[in-house]
Structure 1
Amino acid sequence: MNKLALSLCITALLFGCVSTKSPTGRSQTLLFSDAQMQQMGAQSFAAMKKDQKISQDKIKTAYVNCIAKRITAVLPDQSQQWEVVLFESEQVNAFALPGGHIGVYTGLLNVAVNQDQLATVMGHEVAHVLAQHGNEQVSRSQLTGIGMQVADAALGASGVANKDLYMAGLGLGTQVGIILPFGRYQESEADIVGLELMAKAGFNPQESVTLWQNMAKAGGSQGPELLSTHPSHSTRIEDLQAAQNQVMPLYIQARKQSLTECKINGRK
């Protein structure tokens, strides 16, 4: 069977697809199963841990894990175990992958200067996973030029030869040099869903506005790596400000509970 015929067969199989709604009610068409997405996430994260330096700073690692634990504790699926890794790099970046994987770069701690601001970024990244944005991306790729290679990788048909393609589809474009950026609606969705997550976890959602202002100032005219795959639209801060009345009650309610404060170098 030639490659075109094989690709068409794979496409036909995958078109037993799922039509669903995102957390904000947007229609989604998902071609890949949860198991396939988890496989992509696991393989991509394993490659990241192999290729990039992991921080040995126990204080910073504990700080990042503390924030991640509180955010993941409010997710609908509590059966998922989350692995969190702090990478030693000046990159101002973070990501989350299907299957329960979160990566944070030490450079982000210089811009997200308190627990609430770091929770903004981590909540945003986890929201991408919760909303199945990675599945949307690789599904979209399936229907365009590089899609068949992504499908081959996801189905185990070509080993790790095309790992960069599906890593890019999962939002890791800056790491592998192939950009499949999340779309405008996905970014807005991750902002709002992430804001709700951080508020439910007891992090101050008002700090989200300050965080993105810090992001806009970081890294000169190009901005930090995080913004290269997470486009900063002129309405982002306005949207976050507009959502404050909706999420502040969630934050106030969460603060009534006993929460572990996440501290680093004496500051929260």
Structure 2
Amino acid sequence: MFFLSYFGGNHVRSTTSYYGGAGINADLKTFHNQQVYAATIVVGLTAQNTYGVQDQYAIPTSFISEQFKSIANDLNIKAAKTGALLDAKRVHIVAKEWQQYELGKLVIDPVMVAKGGAHLLSDEAILTMINELIPQAYLITPNLPEAQVLVNQTIKTDNDVQQAAKKIQKMGVRNVLIKGGHRSNSENNYADYILYEDGSFKWFVMPGVDTNRTHGTGDTLSAFITANLAKGYDLKMIMPQAKKFTYEAIRQTINVGHGHGPLNHWVEITMERD
């Protein structure tokens, strides 16, 4: 589903997760936590719980367009983010409608590769994203497997991460955040790498947490960033707090479901409060 934050924020996100741990639910909880008003454009629906996804339903493209029109004709959107966009046809319609309307800074959470390694988008959909959507984005937030797909090469070392970020940035996106949750060092620390539009970069290192309650981590991180872009904060100011919020949402665990559980979106970390 596509979410938009209006200062608030807007979110265009492709899927919603019915049990509430990821997707549109994680985004809305994060937006609410960060005190922005969120509108949504739904691209797809899932029947889902902590065990996995049981079914999904793609929203007709004509209805996606109507949702864009409704939002754009009423709300003052400052920033937006995408989630899973399901297929090439829906990636195309989101890119087309985004180009038509002025909806602030776009954050792309590509949702192309699942934690287990399964591809969630076809090659055609990925190519459509590269050619049509990524060039319009302010920030893209791939995990390591997704970054590997985007640059068509294996990423193992820190230098590989840095080179991949440069290649992705050349696709037209202004800032690139490669999430390192799939690669830990000998101290069980995980490092995210961000390449900013001015050419500067930074590593954000956090210790690992021994838990399986991490469903919605990428959604939560990108939603925190989107919310605070909508509030007018600079990306370099947002990033340390975004990482801290996501880490604490994992560390301060909540007991929901019997499988791969969700984060704790009640943690109190904002740009105003350290």
**TM-score, scaled relative to structure 1:** 0.29
Kindly name which structure, 1 or 2, has the bigger radius of gyration based on alpha carbons: 1
Name whichever structure is richer in strand by fraction: 2
**TM-score, scaled relative to structure 2:** 0.28
